[in-house]
Each structure stands twice: as C-alpha cells, then as structure tokens.
C-alpha cells in the first residue's frame, strides 16, 4: 500500500502548551573531549491530520499529528579550550570533515526524559516526546566560537499520543 501524501496546507495547526520540558543529559569522557552534552527537541508546530486524509481502513482512537520540531544541542566543555574556528561551518564542511565517533565515550547513566505537550481541544490531547542520541561525532578540524570541540549529534525522537485524563492538562 502506498502512503497517502499529506499536504501541509490541508492540516489544522493546533495550539499547544508545554507541560514538561527537560534536556537530555550525557556525560562525555574522552582523551580529547570531556564535558556534558545537552540535547532537546521542541515542537514548533503541531498539525492535526484530518480523518479523511488517513489511509482507508485506518481507525484511530486518538488524533493523528504531524509534528514540526527544532532540536537544540549544547555542550559544557570540561576540557581544554582552543582557538575558535575562523570559518562558519556549513553542511558541506560538516560532511567532509575528519570525524571521531564519541558515542562509545558516553558514560553510563545518561538522562533521556519524556517531555510532554498538551494540545488544546475537546478533549485535550497529551503528546509525549522522547529524544534519543544515536551518534555523537567530534569534527576534529573545527572549534566552536567559544573554543570548545565542534560536536555533531544525531538523534531520533519518538512520540506518543493519548487523550488527556482528569488531572492532566489542567483537567479536573
């Protein structure tokens, strides 16, 4: 079966509020890179897919959403500072850069919480989102404007949709 094409202009942009929002935390311990990585994915738009746009035969108890999000990555360097790179790094330079995979250097006990967003409606809906770091690379030829290692984080985000229950979303 072919997926149904979804046209963004036919989706309903839904208002939402943040119920719970926390950074993921990872301790990185490597001979050249030491510090704490922070990672978070935040929805920018939550768009509801109308039932008539779902593939035939799909029956859902909860609404279906398309989520447009933005990821933020921060790093607190506990290692040596270097001279900042004189160049602004673009996508081609990132792809061509010499990289070192730091994923094995992430210490046990990483913190990867579920964040929660409440979509207004009748009934309100709770969307839970969890972002997981899948790979962390150090771009060895570049440093950040603060003289820290230039890191590239790859990740995936899982979403869960449920109807809000009493006590959730401010419901009584």
* Span 92-140, pLDDT tens digits: 998 999 999 999 999 988 999 999 999 998 889 999 999 999 999 999 9
Report pLDDT for 103. 97
Number of structural domains in the chain: 1
pLDDT of residue 172: 41
Q: With 80 as the cut, is the pLDDT of residue 171 above it?
A: no
Backbone angles phi, psi at 53, to 5 degrees: -95, -10
Flag whether 110 is in a domain: yes
83 falls within a domain: yes
What's the whole-model pTM score?
0.83
The pLDDT of residue 169 is above 60: no
Q: What percent of the chain lies above the pLDDT cut of 90?
A: 66
Residue 74 placed within a domain: yes
Q: How many CB atoms sit inside 10 A of residue 35's CB?
A: 19
Average the pLDDT over 130-156 and give the result: 95
Q: Average pLDDT of the chain?
A: 89
Nearest to 144 by CA among 63, 107, 89: 89
Closest CA relative to residue 101, chosen from 152, 62, 148: 152
Answer whether residue 3 is part of any domain.
no
Region of poorest pLDDT, from 13-27, 77-91, 135-149: 77-91
Q: What are phi and psi of 170, to 5 degrees?
A: 80, 10
Residue 170 domain-assigned (yes or no): no
Q: How far apart are CA 50 and CA 54, in angstroms?
A: 7
Query: Which range of residues forms the domain containing residue 113?
Result: 8-163
First to last CA, the chain: 43
43: phi then psi, degrees, rounded to nearest 5: -65, 140
Is 1 inside any structural domain?
Answer: no
């Amino acid at each position: 079966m072919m997926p149904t094409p979804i046209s963004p202009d036919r989706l309903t942009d839904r208002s939402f509020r943040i119920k719970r929002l926390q950074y993921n935390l990872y301790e990185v311990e490597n001979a050249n890179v030491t510090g704490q990585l922070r990672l978070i994915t935040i929805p920018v738009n939550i768009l509801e897919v109308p039932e008539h746009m779902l593939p035939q035969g799909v029956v859902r108890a909860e609404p279906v959403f398309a989520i447009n999000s933005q990821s933020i990555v921060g790093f607190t360097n506990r290692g040596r500072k270097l001279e900042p790179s004189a160049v602004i790094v673009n996508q081609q330079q990132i792809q061509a850069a010499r990289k070192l995979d730091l994923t094995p250097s992430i210490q046990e006990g990483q913190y990867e919480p579920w964040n929660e967003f409440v979509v207004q409606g009748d009934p309100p809906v709770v969307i839970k989102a969890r972002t997981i770091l899948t790979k962390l690379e150090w771009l060895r030829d570049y440093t950040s404007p603060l003289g820290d290692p230039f890191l590239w984080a790859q990740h995936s985000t899982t979403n869960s949709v449920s109807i809000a229950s009493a006590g959730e979303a401010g419901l009584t």
